[in-house]
Amino acid sequence: MRKIAVANRKGGVGKTTSAVHLAAGLALAGRKVLLIDTDAQGHTARLLGLKPEKGLADLMEGRGAPSGAIVQARPGLDLLAGGKALAGVNRLIARESIRPEEQLSKALAELEGKYEYVVVDTSPSFSELGTNVLFYATEAIVPVSMEVLAAEGLVSFSEEIRHVQEYHALAVRWILPTFVDMRTRAKTEQILDGLRGKYGELVTFPVHYSSALSEASAWGKTIWEYKARDRAAEDYAKIAGAVA
């Protein structure tokens, strides 16, 4: 079972959109996938047009088994939703004196082997639960928008990942450029060149800017359900295909 965190400590870089489309793309390819939202904003459910009554907070706080908190989002794709209640989960983890970084792993242990892929969407800010995600996942995909501050923020997040790697086998699979807009070609190419110069082959296919992605989210649809011939649909299909 592959456990993939879609993570970055910078907000507005397309983490949730990328996590949803990676998970949905894998499901469309016939894989059995679980998408987990560890963000208190709970946006993954909204992007998929769902309003789950339960989610990750219920599981972490011992209110029932995983099967009672997981909902089917699409054929082959299940969701363990986030939401405001996760603020309490961060406090719960902070009170743990024995291996607090492994509380998420313990809560999800019952699901081991039941999915081919687990894709985890993360909070943009540092939190106890965010650290737990890095200790649960075995792979990380790091979205980076085409902004200088986002590229610079990747450096500090890379340091956090290296610290986790001293204790846990976490591999950074890809640096994922997002919001690539060739209308601002000079700036975009400068940032892409900088990323490739520093991270080399870790920098993967870019996801181009698309207004259709925002529109699809507003309707609770994936880009393939909303506008299958959009360039972003092609981009995310490539990414899901390469990950699979």
Label residue 152 by pLDDT band (50, 70, 90).
confident
Label residue 125 by pLDDT band (50, 70, 90).
confident
The residue ranges of every structural domain in the chain are 2-243
DSSP per-residue letters across 5-38? EE--SSSSSSHHHHHHHHHHHHHHTT--EEEEE-
| Tens-place pLDDT, residues 165-177 | 999 999 999 999 9
Q: Which CATH number fits domain 2-243: 3.30.365.10, 3.30.1450.10, 3.40.50.300, 3.40.718.10?
A: 3.40.50.300
Which two three-digit tokens encode residue 194? 């900088």
19 contacts 6 by C-beta, under 8 angstroms: yes
| Tens-place pLDDT, residues 203-241 | 998 999 999 999 999 999 999 999 999 999 999 999 999
Give percent of the chain above pLDDT 70: 100
The pTM of this model reads: 0.95
